[in-house]
Structure 1
Amino acid sequence: MKLLRVLVLIALPLYCFAGSGCPLVEEVINKTIDSQVSTDEYQTFLKPFSDGPSTDKAIAQLKGCFLTQSNETLSKVGELMNIIYESKWCAAF
């Protein structure tokens, strides 16, 4: 299940043709790593992309994983995403 979450986060930029260039991906990632955004708010934000109860449950679990992390860890995830966006590998797509 953890691998699936990582793959989803990696695949999101590819959905918007890599690089940051997709404000929706940036907003999803920012809401994911923002400890001030509750699980309910997060689910409401992602509701248009939900396929049903099983997807809603997965979204809640994903946000729950990030809510249990320290602010330092969340900050580092944000830095990681910036590094990925700025990498030459992503720019090739």
Structure 2
Amino acid sequence: MKLLRVLVLIALPLYCLAGSGCPFLEEVVNKTISPEVSVSEYQNFLQDFAQTTDKKEALADVKQCFLNQSNETLYNYAQMMVITVSSDVLSNHGAGTSRLYVCH
């Protein structure tokens, strides 16, 4: 799970306005935890971010890790992502900042 978080929050250049959410990040998380999305579909979806063999293998490992989890674990992970992103937005918004967030 740490690898996915690093991948999503550091490796992917996602641009979000504070308070508006990250639709692409949500789509990445949904595809990551969805048992209906295969490893190859996942790699194709993120091909712009993984152009080397090592990065493609890392994506395959992340997706396979989530394919091996129970539905309860996948649900809990999705809830954790909502809480994490919401708390980051709220804590930064409450500080009175209205800056562009770069989720990478």
> How does the TM-score come out when normalised to structure 2?
0.72
Q: Highest CA radius of gyration, 1 or 2?
A: 2
Unaligned runs of 5+ in 1: none
**Which residue in the other structure is 1:54 paired with?**
54
Q: Secondary structure at the match of 2:56?
A: helix
Change (3 A) 1:14 1:79: farther
CA RMSD of aligned residues (A): 2.5
Q: Answer 1 or 2: higher relative contact order, Cα 8 Å, separation at least 6.
A: 2
Percent same amino acid at aligned positions?
A: 41
Aligned residue pair count: 91
Q: Which runs of 4+ in 1 moved over 2 A?
A: 2-20
Q: Which has the higher helix share?
A: 1
Q: Secondary structure at the match of 1:47?
A: coil
Look up the equivalent residue of 2:5 and give its one-letter code.
V
Unaligned runs of 5+ in 2: 93-100
